[in-house]
Structure 1
Amino acid sequence: MKTKLLIAGGLVPLASIIAATASARPWGPPPPPPPAEEVVVEFFTDYDTDESNTLTQQELATALQGMREKRMEQRAERPGKGLNNDRKGRGPIGPEDLAARLIEDFDADEDAVLDSEELLNALSAMGRKHRGGPGRGDCPLDNSDDAAEQ
């Protein structure tokens, strides 16, 4: 009888340890990306160096690089989920080129910078393209390599 109680008593703490370990696995699904509105606030708070309430191409490129580095750190924390190195020489668009394309495609008032509304439109379009949601295929960020594969 005492043996059964000791075994049963030992299983409860063991079960709680297993459950806690399972819920803390770093290789689970990645956290969802932050809403585009939060990214816009972060970009302007952290990267609008001249406090003009617009992002120049250089400020935007720096912000995109910062965002990319943050995502790479998150991926590095997840075992087995590093970079996909089998892209045969292709890779993501560099931050400088992406900044130029975003300004070219989303600068509605053609002042060569992005304000918060224009940046929100750009990030929303990027999110739709990445998730394959509405607007996929007509996003100005589609590059020729991706278009050829579709």
Structure 2
Amino acid sequence: MSLRDRINDDVKTAMRNKESDKLTALRMLTAALKQKEVDERIELTDAHVLALVEKLIKQRKDSITAYEQGGRPDLAAKEKFELDLLAVYLPAQMSEAEVEAAVAAAVAQVGAAGPQDMGKVMAIVKPALAGKADMGMVSAKVKAALSK
């Protein structure tokens, strides 16, 4: 079953169970998926859906930070709920040790010597770890590995 089909099934289940908050969040996700299809005139693959879910998760994290700093715990709680719901569609996340090992392998593969080679390393690491690790953490690990 594709990721898109799984999301559509979850929408139907939320409708049947009358879970309005979950249904609202899932409809937001399906609307974003349809918008991407229309904008780019493509049929979304699981990789496209995964990339969009990651983007929405990043937006939720930024919103949570902003709402907490602004003294709006009610809105932050709503964003956290949506974040938790979106995280269900991501594959299992890699541990920091696994990310460090992947970064070290990419550095060795490219023969990177310093920070100027970060783009080459990220070009290898990003497709391999997409959806499996937070790219912000991956970027920080690459910087740390290249600054040694």
Question: TM-score, normalised to structure 1's length?
Answer: 0.28
Which protein has the larger Cα radius of gyration, Structure 1 or Structure 2?
1
- Greater share of helix residues, 1 or 2? 2
